Structure 1
Amino acid sequence: MTVHVMSVSPALNSALREARFDGDAPLDAAGVRQARDAAAAVPAADRYVRAPSQRCAGTADALGLRADPEPALRGWDLGRWSGRRLTEVSGSEPEAVSAWLTDPSAAPHGGESLTAFCARVADWLDSVAGRSDDGNVRMLVVAEPSVIRGLIVRALALPTESFWRLDVAPLTLTGLSGRAGRWNLRCGQPLSPPLRHDGDRIP
């Protein structure tokens, strides 16, 4: 059995353009246009799921996908920092931000610690591999960059701190293929122009 989990990061919205902790802001007009332009490059899958955020819902819609919301793939809960600028929080709570960036167990914002967040995402990936039937299974996921980074940490058995060393650009495709405990990674492929691999779109 081989499982393909193809993760698409959503288009930009105003919160990301302003370097804010995303408080579930929807796509802006530019983000919708960018996602629609990339729709032709989305690979086919057996099942489509998305994170429950407005940004991911809007991206899935603009890509032409009928994706089921998956609560386990919700973005990182940053508590009272949600919607605020990073520079603002760094200026008013420098020690809290330092702890957040250096201690995976810290949650000074009152939301999830990095450790708890990565564990939640890891549990979902393990469950996908564990409940799949024999044969190849292809799932496409529209999820926040933080979720995709968490999936990579789990798939490659990286230290939790490695999360901070991973970058996921908007509207890129990250592919994990394999099974629980043994995953291969194909990362950061732009959705436009259409991508090909062995005569088909990238798995």
Structure 2
Amino acid sequence: MSAVTRLTLLSHAMTEAMAAARFAADEPLSELGLRSVQKADHSTLRADLIQVGPEARTAQTAAQLGLTGSTEPALRDLDCGAWTGSGMGDIAPEHLMGWLTDPDHRSHEGESITTLLERVRAWMDTLAQDPQRILAITHPAVVRATILIALSAPATSFWRIDIPPLSATTLHQRGGSWTLRETALHL
């Protein structure tokens, strides 16, 4: 039997940008997010290695759960470029629809979905080299990317996956292939 890498991705708690449908800047958790993470049952989160996205909201989620991990740049949120801080209604409809339907779209001069997938795939490839239990505290966009990679799903499916705050998604890697194990809002 080959060794298994178990990767659990925890989406950070709620922020004001999430609640207002804005493109997030580096912001802390909202009051609702803080209350939610303080009530969370994290007893099932076990890991040999904990990695945390570099933004305030991921670090704060980890700290509120009493988890200490290393900052991993590959776990950073999707770079929305010039749209950062803007609401969905502030974006020209043709640009917003392009972003939601074309994985290579970059009218915002940030990161495309395709580029995000490449970044996340490279990070996942490094994890498979050392089988262990890994907990990654990150963003919904990164979690979506890992699911698409595990399922070999098309990038156009990116926006069809809903990742709620404080949800945990677990993947297994064995023999060179990733498998989606579970996704749950169990915290």
TM-score (norm 1): 0.86
1:122 aligns with 2:121: yes
Counterparts of residues 3-22 of structure 1 (less than 5 Å): 3-22=5-24
**Deviation for aligned residue 1:180:** 6.3
The equivalent position to 2:181 in structure 1, one of 183, 186, 190, is 186
Question: Aligned with 2:143: secondary structure?
Answer: helix
Question: Aligned with 1:176: secondary structure?
Answer: strand
Q: Write the deviation string for residues 156-199 of structure 1: whole angstroms up to 9, x where unpaired.
A: 1111111111111111110001236422213331233xxxxxxx
1:25 aligns with 2:27: yes
Question: Aligned with 2:42: secondary structure?
Answer: helix
Aligned to 1:162: 157
The alpha-carbon distance between structure 1 residues 40 and 120, as it changes in their structure 2 partners (threshold 3 A), is closer
Question: Aligned with 2:50: secondary structure?
Answer: strand
**What is the alpha-carbon root mean square deviation over aligned residues?**
1.4
1:140 aligns with 2:135: yes
Q: How many equivalent residue pairs?
A: 185
Question: Aligned with 2:40: secondary structure?
Answer: helix
Aligned to 1:96: 95
Counterparts of residues 67-106 of structure 1 (less than 5 Å): 67-89=69-91, 93-106=92-105
Structure 2: distance between partners of 1:44 and 1:191: 14
Residue 160 of structure 2 aligns to which amino acid in structure 1? R
The alpha-carbon distance between structure 1 residues 87 and 157, as it changes in their structure 2 partners (threshold 3 A), is same
Q: Percent identity?
A: 38
The alpha-carbon distance between structure 1 residues 70 and 99, as it changes in their structure 2 partners (threshold 3 A), is same
**Deviation for aligned residue 1:39:** 4.4
**Deviation for aligned residue 1:52:** 0.6
Question: Aligned with 1:177: secondary structure?
Answer: strand
The alpha-carbon distance between structure 1 residues 96 and 40, as it changes in their structure 2 partners (threshold 3 A), is closer
- Contiguous gaps of at least 5 residues in structure 2: none
Residue 186 of structure 2 aligns to which amino acid in structure 1? L
Q: Write the deviation string for residues 28-64 of structure 1: whole angstroms up to 9, x where unpaired.
A: 2221121121143341110111111111011000011
Structure 1: distance between partners of 2:8 and 2:65: 14
Structure 2: distance between partners of 1:123 and 1:39: 31
Aligned to 2:61: 59
Structure 2: distance between partners of 1:47 and 1:164: 29
- In terms of mean alpha carbon deviation, does 80-89 or 40-49 score higher? 40-49
- Contiguous gaps of at least 5 residues in structure 1: 193-203
Structure 1: distance between partners of 2:42 and 2:109: 40
